[in-house]
A = this chain, B = another copy of it.
Amino acid sequence: MNISGENIRMSAAANRSRESVVASLMAKALAKPGILSLAAGFTDNTVLPATLVREAVRNIPENASALQYGSNQGRPALRRSLAEKLRALDGAKIATVDAAGIVMTNGSQQSLYLLAQVLCDEGDIVFVEAPTYFVVFDVLSGLGIEAMSLPMDARGQVDPELLRELLCRLRGEGRLNRVKMAYFITYYSNPGGVSMESGVKRELGKVFSEIAPWVVAVEDTAYRELYFSSPHPAQSILALPEWKGLPVALTGSFSKCFSPGIRLGYFATNVPKIVEKSLNIKAQQDFGSANLSQWIAEYAFASGKFDTLVAGLRMHYAGKARALSDELAFGGLRKTGWKWNDPDGGLLMWLRGPEGLNTGADGDFCRECIDREVLYVPGAICYADPESAPKGNVRLSFGTLPAKDLREGARRFCAAAKACK
């Protein structure tokens, strides 16, 4: 009953869009049921808030409006709670944005997509960190936008002076006005586990202010609240005086600190025009994110139970991070030339392999890991240009697997590392 559709010419957008790396990794995992995935960026099923979600749904008001269409921008009380939360996280005296500057989206993924859609035309440039969250490359290439790596220092921080040089070079090439957006993952980043230092944020503000004040800084804070001991001291870009007057959009997510299954995120911006235009396009795409999901999030805040949940998640993931790191160390991975820092938040670890190792999907090490039934994310896919990217890095996730399986996965990984030494 299917037809070949050979005579259907798909759009340029369709032809630019390739299968996501996530999908192909999942296919690999499914092909071997015994495989342990240290690649998947899921959270841990055992700490999903089933009880709280049931309670929230039990408490849907009797007129059941949470089951009706909501507004395109999102529930006002939820957006007010988020504005208040951002103020609290930044220790700001007054709110950095108000509810009118916040748009609820289908995960922070849709925030990223809408921001790219309203800000960029085909051929425009978006700055990304190196490494960065690899799905952003699909978003950008799907929309015909060029991802350009920012110059980074050895600690994984963007280098403000080299950024200044890059901007000047682009100006010389007549391309500076094509730069529309800069994408930063500023807390316990995916994949590097790095948080952007306050001093770096301030310097970046000065550089953009001086040379390219129209570039919208998109600050992805998906992991910000998942710190292990204390909150990272850096304020968000939105709150820093060096960024005053510059356009900023902060994105956030309910996936990491609550439940990925409600598929809810948001962005907060100081540019009303970005809200307005994003809402025009969001109305075309879905006319508002699921009102039920928003009610659940609103209830979690209003009941105070969101904070209790997150406090538990911090301890839980801190323990799992330690389990994975300890087992890798115990398995002798450092002795085979691997290096990593213990994460202080988030769900991810970034490992640098020994000199000359290739961790790509086509290499011996990857084959060795798949043979031993353990999966990781090859580091090179986290760079704008995989060809020129460092070849020896790996992203491991401690989010999904229980501690026992994390340890077993680590042992398999160490065994593969030894075999490829």
Residues on B with C-beta less than 8 A from A54 are 57-58, 60
Bound CA span A288–B22, Å: 12
Please provide the chain A residues from 52 to 77 with a CB less than 8 Å away from any CB of chain B in the complex. 53-54, 57-58, 60, 62-72
Decide yes or no whether A263 CB sits under 8 A from chain B: yes
Most buried by B among A20, A139, A281: A281
Instruction: Given A2-B270, A5-B247, A290-B262, check contact A20 B69 (CB 8 Å).
Output: no
Q: Are A18 and B280 in contact (CB under 8 A)?
A: yes
CB-contact partner of A1 in B9, B26, B124, B270, under 8 A: B270
Q: Are A280 and B67 in contact (CB under 8 A)?
A: no
Question: In the complex, A170 Cα to B121 Cα: how many Å?
Answer: 30
Any B CB within 8 A of the CB of A109: yes
Interface members, chain A 93-138 (any B CB < 8 Å): 94-97, 101, 106-107, 109-110, 113, 117-121, 124, 135, 138
Q: Which residues of B contact A280 (CB under 8 A)?
A: 14, 17-20, 138, 142
User: Complex Cα distance A64/B42, Å?
Assistant: 13
Identical copies in the complex: 2
Q: Which of B18, B48, B118, B283 contacts A13 (CB 8 A)?
A: B118
- Interface presence of A354 (CB below 8 A): no
Question: Is A10 at the interface (CB under 8 A from chain B)?
Answer: yes
- Other-chain residue from B20, B287, B292, B296 in contact with A107 (beta carbon distance below 8 A): B287
A214 at the interface (CB under 8 A from B): yes
With an 8 Å Cβ cutoff, the count of chain A residues facing the other chain is 101
With A and B bound together, what is the CA distance between A420 and B71 in angstroms? Answer: 34
A251 lies within 8 A of chain B by Cβ: no
Q: B113 near A271 (CB under 8 angstroms)?
A: no
Q: What's the minimum C-beta distance from A101 to chain B, rounded to whole angstroms?
A: 7
Q: Which one of B10, B45, B214, B290 contacts A8 once the chains associate, using CB atoms below 8 Å? A: B214
A182-190, A253-261, A367-375, A403-411 - the one binding chain B:
A253-261
CB-based contact A138/B283 at 8 Å:
yes
A50 within 8 A of B: yes
* Interface presence of A7 (CB below 8 A): yes
Interchain nearest-CB distance for A305 vs B (Å)? 15
Are B12's CB and A283's CB within 8 A? no
- CB of A286 within 8 A of chain B? yes
B-side contacts of A164, CB under 8 Å:
none
Question: How far in angstroms is the closest Cβ of chain B from A230?
Answer: 27
Report the minimum CB–CB distance from A213 to chain B (whole Å). Answer: 6
A216 lies within 8 A of B8 (CB): yes
Contact (Cβ within 8 A) A247 B8: yes
Within 8 A of B (CB), among A333-359: none
6 A-B residue pairs with Cβ-Cβ distance under 8 Å, sorted by A, are A10-B277, A12-B121, A45-B67, A138-B283, A263-B286, A293-B293
Query: Closest 5 CB pairs between A and B?
Result: A263-B290, A67-B261, A261-B291, A17-B280, A106-B286
Which A residues are within 8 Å of any B CB, using their own CB?
1-3, 5, 7-15, 17-20, 22-23, 26, 42-43, 45-46, 48-50, 53-54, 57-58, 60, 62-72, 94-97, 101, 106-107, 109-110, 113, 117-121, 124, 135, 138-139, 142-143, 180, 213-214, 216, 245-247, 255, 259-264, 270-274, 276-277, 279-281, 283-293, 295-296
